Amino acid sequence: MAVTSRPGLTVATRRLRSVSGRLPRSVNTQSSPAGSRGVVESEPHTRSHEPAAVFELYQNARTRFVQMVAEQATRPQNIETLQNAGIMSLLRPLLLDVVPTIQQTAALALGRLANYNDDLAEAVVKGDILPQLVYSLAEQNCVYKKAAAFVLRAVGKHSPQLAQATVDCGALDSLVICLEDFDPGVKEAAAWALAYIARHNAELSQAVVDAGAVPLLVLCIQEPEIALKKIAALALGDISKHSSELAQTVVDSGAIAHLAQMILNPDEKLKLSQLIVNAGGVAAVIDCIESCKGNIRLPGIMMLGYVAAHSENLAMAVIISKGVPQLSACLSEEPEDHIKAAAAWALGQVGRHTPEHARAVALTDVLPVLLALYLSTESSEDLQVKCKKAIKNIIQKCTYLPALEPFLYDAPPNILKYVAGQFSKVLPHDSKARRLFVMSGGLKKIQEIKAEPGSLLQEYINNINNCYPEEIVRYYSPGYSDTLLQRVDSYQPLTN
């Protein structure tokens, strides 16, 4: 007599079908002989595959779980639900899963969660997850290393306390080792994590330095990948910004020469220049220029010029950091023409933006030095070209007339026209400047300049003369005193 199957079995079977789309071969829901309790065992050759099917189902479930959590963690509206469900404790064992893709996806999910807010980042710390990640950094493949470094970065970014927690679990040594990895993505992920740790305070930056990160970060900025260069530069900036000692450590590592070359990259030069300024790199470079001599100065001089070239704000950062006096000193002190030429070029890049920039350069009395080097027959051709270009850049923006007046006496016509042009722009709108220009002898000198009729220089002279009454212009014109004397000689006084 047949015994019917248990009712619950067919229900469970239907649910299983709805999830997996198939049944394990070891289960048969048909009626069975008495004593079998409604289950008939499969054929012997089918039963031998049952454990594999069960494990496959379990693996698929774990894979699907971590994939869904990683996806859900990208949406802010899901974070609270995941947090309330205790997701951290569920993900932790999956970091040690036997399947590499599950490990990697679990680490990615943890990083996305920790990145969202400091509460979740603290949950990672309290869940003793960091030691597992740090241990695995040295053992796993490049995909896992990137995911693990991302978690460390996500935890460390929120506060000095959380960053210190990553340091306390030994993360720095593992991250520094990752900077030597053959995979650029691993290097980039490690540099990100180190940057986020170092940016909080001087103590954490010093810990990064002590772990040996700086020389390897300098090597990273020499790699061809732009993304790696950028984050390595960012990390060096985050290290150096807290104190002059830390900045000097970065300078001593030889980073400045490579940073200066990076600014030439057309895709990233403005971002990198701003990055250097924000991180306090300009002040460190200026200190380096002041403390050394000769060719060691050259990369720093070039870097200041590249930074200043990009925008008014970056050039002003060089001015505020006292960079102009140091560049002027290089122009005057260095015996080699190629260093003088670099300093002249950099000064031109600083002064070419606005009248305020030009005034800051002119007040260092560097314009007469530039002119003397331009006119000197002993100067190299490159130095003369750089000086002429710098003079032109600065003068065309300079409205500080006392700095320009000496050029009325010494400058050749190709420079003089720029000087006269600035006077012709300022004098019509400034009565005090017009009076001072007369008293200083400037108006008299203008009358002595012999310009070709119809030339631009002659046009500027005419514009200047139009700022004064005709009799004043005649009074200061060459030969006018002789004309007056002739009138005296020919004048017949009235007699009674």
Question: Does 416 share its domain with 373?
Answer: no
As a whole number of angstroms, the distance between CA 16 and CA 11 comes to 9
Count of the separate structural domains present in the chain: 3
Question: Does 366 share its domain with 403?
Answer: no
Question: Does 91 share its domain with 160?
Answer: yes
Question: Does 287 share its domain with 146?
Answer: no
**CB neighbours of 289 closer than 8 A, spacing ≥ 6?**
297, 300, 301, 304, 326, 327, 330
Question: Does 409 share its domain with 295?
Answer: no
Domain annotation covers residue 236: no
- Amino acid present at 175: L
The average confidence (pLDDT) of the chain is: 80
39 — pLDDT class (breaks 50, 70, 90): very low
- Amino acid present at 368: P
SS3 at position 275: helix
Q: Which of 347, 370, 394 marks a domain boundary?
A: 394
pLDDT tens sequence across 388-426: 999 999 999 998 888 888 888 888 888 888 899 899 998
pLDDT tens sequence across 70-104: 888 888 888 888 888 888 888 888 888 788 888 88
Domain annotation covers residue 244: no
pLDDT tens sequence across 267-306: 554 455 566 666 566 777 888 788 888 887 888 888 888 8
Asked if 157 contacts 116 with a C-beta cutoff of 8 angstroms, the reply is no
Question: Does 382 share its domain with 436?
Answer: no
Question: Does 220 share its domain with 297?
Answer: no
Question: Does 350 share its domain with 436?
Answer: no
pLDDT tens sequence across 105-150: 888 888 888 888 888 888 888 888 888 888 877 777 888 888 888 8
Write the CATH number for 150: 1.25.10.10
As a whole number of angstroms, the distance between CA 75 and CA 68 comes to 12
The pLDDT, as a whole number, for residue 281 is 67
Taking 3-state DSSP, the helix, strand and coil percentages for the chain, each rounded to the nearest 5, stand at 75, 0, 25
Question: Does 149 share its domain with 193?
Answer: yes
Domain annotation covers residue 360: yes
Domain annotation covers residue 171: yes
Q: Which of 374, 394, 414 marks a domain boundary?
A: 394
Helix ranges restricted to H, 179-243: 184-198, 202-210, 213-220, 226-240
Asked if 179 contacts 220 with a C-beta cutoff of 8 angstroms, the reply is yes
Q: Which of 362, 394, 426 marks a domain boundary?
A: 394
Q: Which residue has the tokens 């970056």?
A: 314
Question: Does 197 share its domain with 286?
Answer: no
SS (H, E, C) 47-61: HCCHHHHHHHHHHHH
Domain annotation covers residue 285: yes
367 — pLDDT class (breaks 50, 70, 90): very high
Question: Does 360 share its domain with 217?
Answer: no
Question: Does 212 share its domain with 66?
Answer: yes
Q: Which two tokens stand for residue 325?
A: 């006096």
Domain annotation covers residue 94: yes
Domain annotation covers residue 2: no
Domain that holds residue 87: 58-224
Select from 153, 141, 142 the least CA-distant residue to 112. 153
DSSP lists the bridge partners of residue 3 as: 32
- Amino acid present at 157: K
Domain annotation covers residue 106: yes
